[in-house]
Amino acid sequence: MSMRLRLGNWGLALVVAITLAAVPAAATSWIVPDPDEMADAADAVVLATVERIRSVAELDRSQITTEVTLHVQEGYKGAVAGERLVLHEVGGRVGLDTQWAFGSPEYRVGETVVAYVERAGRGRLRTQHMAIGKLDTEILDDGRVVLSRIRKGGGRSRQTLSSFQRGLATGNRRARGAVRLAGRLQPNAPRLEGISQAQANFRLMEPGSRWFDLPVAIWGDVAGDRALGKQAGERIVEQGADAWNGQAGSEFQIDYQGTKKGPGFVCNPGHITVSFDDPKEQVADPTGCGGGALAVGGFCATASARGGTPYREITGGAVVFNDGWNSCWFWNETNLHEIVTHEVGHAIGFAHSWDGHLGTTNDPFITDATMFWMAHFDGRGGGLKDYDKGAVAYLYDNEGQPGPSPTPTPTPTPAPGPPTPAVTDADGDGVDNAQDNCPDMPNSLQGDADADGMGDLCDACDSSADPSATCTSLEGNARIVVNRWGKANAVVRVTFPPWVKDLRQDVVIDLVSSTSTYRASIPGSQIRLNKSGTTGHYDQDNVAATLRKYGPNATRIALRVKDRMLADLVDEELEVRVSFPAESASGRMSCITRHPDKRYVTNCKVE
């Protein structure tokens, strides 16, 4: 088991977001690839500024494509400074027509990004693996540039630009011999024809959207899935969609119509289509079973809210399964039922119960939802959970479509009463006391890393989901070594009270620098104990850990990891957090980094 944040039991992420709730990033069904794999597969990797965004609708309005022009500031592969790359992304807005493929990267004019770029069909370029291939940038007070990317276990990992550059310049083929893209491919790409509209942003639609003309028709793909066959494909679509029908408190109805030729991701007036094996090659192929998009879902909607409602009207939708996964062990009928249920949920208007970029949550009501951002693959197939049932009852409640507005009746002026109490905000952070998770300390962002309802700023232990927990202090040291090829390993030894009598329980170890967090999640069920129960061992893949009793009332943990992502932790200070279900400990380490023999060696010790 890798020590990075894991995506469920198998590392599969469902990260599609649609607009019942506003979310800052959309995504699709992914297996998040390693950064090294992305750099190897990309045709270009650049630091660039977004110069122009233009959406073009085809003359028959069946498709909107958005051009994102990047002005290259630094070219690490495939392009050089000063060149311009024009990316072609599915979706956009032209006049009253809006289309969005959830999972598309969100760009805005003027921002600086790191983009992984790949060749698409017909000589065009696009962002590799959709939103995964776009890294946001931030300039710190000390002038360092920090990159932010979607990481495997949810949330976003942060890395300095200098660390990112070191990883690309480790002597492998990523950093040399690349073919330049801008001068060779783009002039041959066919020009987009249709009605165009300049944009300041290429991003998720707001406000929320829903279908008003019920029932919604859904069509399967006559070809079926390449590996599972036509009949299985029909069952997958029919049963996955039917999961949303007949829910208490909901009027929603979706009717399976049969099959037609899968059209790919296009606007489908009045219905939803499902396509298998990416018939128009609109989704980048995965690399083996290691990473990429599993499926893409989205809808078309009106540009403004429907009269008398707060929602835009969905006019058509699509779900496209990617090809290239057919030989992977997880590609079976039950798991595809879950994927299509999740994707159809987005095509009818639902956001995630929780998004991966937000961090972690321990609330089972949220994490068990089929609309949670991670796939469960627990045999549920097309089943819904309590959260999902509540969502469909909320958006499609039994009262149906709003009727005509009644003739207004004059309301008499009420007699003066006592003054309305002022909204209180004791700490002046703009959040009312009743909603403030830290009412006596200003924290306008309301950060709550452990999701215990208590803000990080006033939480005595922000690594435990128990709001009454108190973190104890740990002692120890750490050593991180990064060789000239970017391979990294770490040894961490910590000691803390009290003695954790039951070592066979889940333990999480976080290594936190100013720009990155590395998480080690060790399942208690895989810890082997000695006869006395005072020593436990875990050893799997590139991770090993020993937990043992130390003295009369303390616990010692020795952790050994091999992982390239450890290179992101090279910093001046490192915080180590250890969290058992009922015990937590943390400590800050001062670090010194040296560069002997073209290596980076960081030694850290608790202050």
Q: Which ranges of 68-226 would DSSP assign to H, the alpha helix?
A: 161-168
206-242 in b/e form (b: 16+ CB < 10 A) is: eebbbbbeeebbbbbbebbbbbbeeebbbbbbbbbbb
The pLDDT of 224-247, averaged and rounded, is 93
Tell me the fold of 209-395.
Collagenase (Catalytic Domain) (3.40.390)
User: Is the pLDDT score of 27 beyond 60?
Assistant: no
CA torsion sign, 305 to 306 to 312 to 315? negative
pLDDT for residue 467? 58
Weakest mean pLDDT among 53-67, 313-327, 328-342, 389-403: 389-403
209-210 and 573-579 strand pairing: unpaired
Please tell me if the domain spanning 209-395 has the same topology as the one spanning 472-606: no
How is residue 489 written in tokens?
């390993």
Report which secondary-structure segment, H or E, holds 343. helix 333-347
Q: Is the peptide bond before 207 cis (omega within 30 degrees of 0)?
A: yes
User: Is the pLDDT score of 525 beyond 80?
Assistant: yes
Q: How far apart are CA 356 and CA 148, in angstroms?
A: 13
User: Is the pLDDT score of 410 beyond 80?
Assistant: no
pLDDT for residue 7? 25
Render pLDDT for 527-540 as a digit per residue (tens, 0 to 9).
999 999 999 999 98
Q: What are residue 590's DSSP bridge partners?
A: 573, 605
Answer for the pair 518, 510: CB distance below 8 angstroms, yes or no. yes
User: Is the pLDDT score of 262 beyond 70?
Assistant: yes
How is residue 95 written in tokens?
């006049």
The pLDDT of 88-114, averaged and rounded, is 84
pLDDT for residue 345? 87
Q: How far is CA 313 from CA 66, 297, 440, in A?
A: 22, 17, 43
pLDDT for residue 1? 31
Report which secondary-structure segment, H or E, holds 149. strand 145-150
| Residue 469: how many other CB atoms lie within 10 Å | 21
pLDDT for residue 127? 92
Instruction: Please name which of 469, 476, 484, 486 lies closest in space to residue 509, comparing C-alpha atoms.
Output: 476
What does 564-606 look like in DSSP terms, one character per residue? GGGGGG-SSEEEEEEE-SS-EEEEEEEEEEE-GGG-EEEEEEE
pLDDT for residue 124? 87
Q: What are residue 543's DSSP bridge partners?
A: 540, 561
CB neighbour list of residue 504: distance below 8 Å, 6 or more residues apart: 524, 525, 527, 529, 536
Tell me the fold of 472-606.
Immunoglobulin-like (2.60.40)
Higher local confidence (pLDDT), 281 or 215: 215
Percentage of residues in the chain with pLDDT exceeding 70? 78
Answer for the pair 69, 85: CB distance below 8 angstroms, yes or no. yes
pLDDT for residue 159? 84
Q: How far apart are CA 68 and CA 448, in angstroms?
A: 35
User: What are the domain boundaries of the chain?
Assistant: 21-200, 209-395, 472-606
pLDDT for residue 321? 92
How is residue 65 written in tokens?
């494509």
Higher local confidence (pLDDT), 102 or 605: 605
User: Is the pLDDT score of 385 beyond 60?
Assistant: yes
pLDDT for residue 204? 58
Determine what percent of the chain falls in helix, strand and coil, rounding each to the nearest 5: 15, 35, 50
Q: How far apart are CA 65 and CA 539, in angstroms?
A: 49
Render pLDDT for 537-571 as a digit per residue (tens, 0 to 9).
999 878 899 999 998 899 999 999 988 878 878 77
Report which secondary-structure segment, H or E, holds 386. helix 386-395
Category of 103 on φ-ψ map: left (φ > 0), alpha (ψ -120 to 50) or beta: left
Whole-prediction pTM: 0.57
* Average pLDDT over the chain, rounded to an integer: 79
pLDDT grade, residue 312 (50/70/90)? confident
Higher local confidence (pLDDT), 317 or 99: 317
Q: What are residue 157's DSSP bridge partners?
A: 149
Answer for the pair 485, 171: CB distance below 8 angstroms, yes or no. yes
How is residue 404 written in tokens?
């005509």
pLDDT grade, residue 276 (50/70/90)? very high
Weakest mean pLDDT among 10-24, 135-149, 320-334: 10-24
Helix 333-347 / helix 230-242 crossing angle, nearest 10 deg: 50
Answer for the pair 275, 283: CB distance below 8 angstroms, yes or no. no
